[in-house]
Amino acid sequence: MPQSALSTHFQSLKKHRSRLENLSLSALFQSEPNRADDLSIDDGVLFFDFSKNRIDQQSLAVLLNLATDAKIEEARGRMFRGGKINFTENRAVLHTALRAGEGPAIIVDGINVRDQISKAKRQAFDFAEKVRSGEYSLGRHTIKDVVNIGIGGSDLGPVMCVAALQPYCSGPNIHFVSNVDGADFHDTTKGLDPHSTLFVIASKTFTTAETMANAKLAKTWLSEKISPRDIGRHFVALSTNLEATAEFGIDKNRIFGFWDWVGGRYSIWSSIGLSLMIAIGSDNYQQFLEGAKSADEHFLKQRLEDNIPVLMALIGIWHRNIWGFSAHAVLPYDNRLLHFPAYLQQLDMESNGKHICADSTISQYSTGPVIWGEPGTNGQHAFYQLLHQGSDIIPCDFLVGALSHEIDQTHQKMLLANCLAQSEAMMLGRSPQQVTEMMQPNIDARLVPHKVFEGNRPSNTFIYQKLTPYVLGKLIAYYEHKIFVQGVIWGINSFDQWGVELGKQLASDIQPLLEKEHVSYDSSIHDASTNNLIARFFQLSK
């Protein structure tokens, strides 16, 4: 969206902030008898409550006008049709097509990608089921362990989903290696049998430095027990670089590709999800896709005022740009969603962590917030103190299921009670008068300020029946679309990630210098601090 138009909307919204600043959330609920119903949406699977934000119908109307003027619906259509909205790389953005199923052709560069997607999915499903059934074996050994080697989106998506869907995991044990720190590979493979271990190497280009370093380490690990002629059978590649995968020794029948219109952080829906397919089976993985497809249809068809990801995005804009909140906490009250905040961290911060607009000018406004979080109730005993009484206000998303997969639901009720209590406490707070009354009859005026909770801390809550593949797929897709809408409003490209490149390039320059202590190099290339640290490395590594 042009900065001038954005400025006009933001000026209007700031007037509404001034109007609402002196109104507590409690007062808003008292003055709006139907607020809880009016500011919540039930899509039939997920119930989204956004009533605990300091917002009302007037300010919401201005936010919806902002979305209309930003031409969200038009931008949405371009994405779903395969328009090259990733303009810095001249690419379409079609992770939505990976879960769309049958339908009208989606043409990219003259090719109907639906046909390609259908073929690739059948191949991946077929291989996953052969691994699960034991039809694909490693000589005389069936596969007991699968190690996914990737980084970024090639790791965060699979590792999050496998943990989230443990009740549905019935295949081999799935493990993950991502960090180039050798300790990650060592600790993950400790206790595994090389004869029954399959490695999935996830790298589109098959050149990702960290991933290939770990892939070579896997080869070395296998070679200690496996004949060189059999090692290749222990590898699968998720890549498009057939030459490099062949050189590595992976048969073309065990190479599963994807396309340049699938960004890494959006790739769990592609062959990058192979580890998840092996873990939960093709039927459950299909339900995962169906959940995301349902979210896509909601995003496409619902009016802006009834559209969950649009409202998520607008509330985020309201907090980031009008109230100046620079962080956002994701707090799943579901221990199996322990990796969900980290997954969303990459999804959001790599997508919208930019300050250059589509017209190559610098944005006048703050863009992506810092995303962080941990599962409840653990977080309550770690950082909730800051959420309740810290000097910075941090909006939160709470996520919780009504039921767990465990037979005894006692713990789930306790979990749910804590989740609801935390969002209520953040909203209501506790006044000096309430603290004084609680301290009766032994009132110590010095302690009163310490026990006061300001309240008016905003939050959204997602509640669902149970964390199933369908529910997880829908949740992820809603957050994807939220991030897309915010990118359109801010006028940035949410689908490139040039910011990760510089550090990679410098690392490739520095690494050769660490190989030999007396290597001669031009010290003017690096700054004095870096040169000093290189020298200190040689001292410490002796």
* Catalytic residue set: 350, 381, 504
Which pair of tokens denotes residue 294? 């349902």
- Which single residue is written with the structure tokens 């009670």? 417
Q: What does DSSP assign to residue 454?
A: -
Cα-Cα-Cα-Cα torsion 211, 212, 216, 222, nearest 10 degrees, comes to 40
Distance CA 38, CA 491 (A): 30
Residue 256 bridge partners (DSSP): 238
DSSP strand E in 87-179: where? Answer: 107-108, 111-112, 145-149, 173-177
Instruction: Give the phi and the psi of residue 339 in degrees, each rounded to 5.
Output: -95, 0
> 70 Cβ partners below 8 Å, 6+ apart?
1, 5, 488, 489
Contact between 225 and 212 under an 8 Å Cβ cutoff? The reply is: no
Distance CA 272, CA 150 (A): 9
- Which single residue is written with the structure tokens 């089921």? 129
Q: In what order do the strands lie in the sheet with 235-238?
A: 173-177, 145-149, 197-202, 235-238, 255-256
Which pair of tokens denotes residue 247? 């050189």
Contact between 402 and 334 under an 8 Å Cβ cutoff? The reply is: no
Distance CA 291, CA 121 (A): 17
Contact between 322 and 129 under an 8 Å Cβ cutoff? The reply is: no
What residue type is 494 in one-letter code?
S
Q: What is the DSSP string of 325-387?
A: --EEEEEEE-GGGTTHHHHHHHHHHHHH---B-TTSPBPSS--PPEEE---TTGGGGTTHHHH
Q: Pick from 141, 157, 243, 139: which is nearest to 200 by CA?
A: 157
Distance CA 280, CA 470 (A): 12
- Alpha helices by DSSP H, listed for 379-445, are 384-389, 410-428, 432-438
- Which single residue is written with the structure tokens 């890549």? 239
C-alpha separations of 531 from 278, 481, 485, 540 in Å: 47, 44, 43, 15
Handedness of CA 311, 14, 348, 485 (dihedral sign): positive
> 58 Cβ partners below 8 Å, 6+ apart?
16, 19
Beta pairing class for 370-372 and 107-108 = unpaired
Contact between 462 and 281 under an 8 Å Cβ cutoff? The reply is: no
